[in-house]
Amino acid sequence: MGGISLNYLARRLLVFALTVWVAATLIFIIPRLAPGDPISAMIARMSQFEGFVENADLIIESWRKRFGLDDPIHVQYLRYLGNTLRLDLGYSMGNFPSTVYELIARRLPWTIGLVGLSTVIFFTVGNLCGALLAWYRTPRWLKVMIPISMTFTSVPPALFSLLLVYIFGFLLPIFPQVGAYGRGMVPSLTPEFFGSVLHHGFLPAMSIVLVTFGFWALGMRGMMVTIEGEDYMILAQAKGLKPFYVLYRYMIRNAILPQMTALAVSIGTLINGSVLVEIMFVYNGMGSLIYEGINTQDFGLIQGTSFILIVTSALAVLIIDLVYPLIDPRISLEGR
């Protein structure tokens, strides 16, 4: 296993499974704490448009039986766990007869693209800015500009989205305000479609990047400062190595490991922030899908989307733990 002991691997997999089970249990319980149920909510929405729904009580009773909402809560829970283990997320009660899996399959790639690209940008830019802040050879003007650009860090992503929409959507109508691609376009592997996706995704991505990279810059700067007095740094300088080589090979390489840990832990927070951003920009991702499920009290949709996002976060932490030896061979995974 390349330095990873079976004991360590088993412990990490056990923690992963326990995390997923606890999270799955919570997302089963929390939606049911709200008053009402998805069937009654659906009839209420129909009544708003039609004014009256004939035989509403019979419809509610038959649909509750169809989706098993009349079963005891422990029966619903066991059935839910069994279906989840088989990745059978069931039907969406608000979009019947579409399944939750079908809805997620259409929306998940957009969230992966938005969050993935944003993560690469803010992690790379943030750590590079932090390293330059701590490096003694960085030009003075750059050390002044970087802290100024970090003032957006204190602004929530959803609020910053409104600012970007106002500036680049109304005052300077450069970027579109809503959607993931141009109206009337059909998703395809063409340059026009990819160009439209990038054009529509710029503001949502910047809403995440500009309010996030400052945290990574400050964290990286702190780590760089702590290793400046290490023995290997003094030895590298005494050997007359080039300053840029020392920066990359000795300083950044040793300071990046805690940042990788923080990235894995913050994946869940990042996804939560992207949910609000997607709602603000009416982006066709998981965020708007979760918002739709909450509005319609769609238990299946809420459970399915939340489960996928939680598994993604837990899997990211697991992967980071397993690739630690590739980042820093000094790390022992034998528990010492």
Interval 122-152: pLDDT, tens: 888 888 888 888 777 777 777 777 777 777 7
Pick the residue with more confidence: 111 or 32?
111
- Whether the CB-CB separation of 298 and 69 falls below 8 Å is answered with no
* Confidence tier at 66 by pLDDT (50, 70, 90): low
By the 10 Å C-beta count (0-12 exposed, 13-18 middle, 19+ buried), 97 is classed as: exposed
Domains and CATH numbers, the chain: 1-94+298-336 (no CATH), 100-295 (1.10.3720.10)
CA 211, 213, 214, 215 dihedral sign is: positive
How far is 330 from 164, CA to CA, in rounded Å?
44
Query: Over 80: is that where the pLDDT of 157 sits?
Result: no
How far is 14 from 98, CA to CA, in rounded Å?
34
Interval 211-237: pLDDT, tens: 887 778 888 888 888 887 777 777 877
How far is 207 from 156, CA to CA, in rounded Å?
9
How far is 259 from 128, CA to CA, in rounded Å?
12
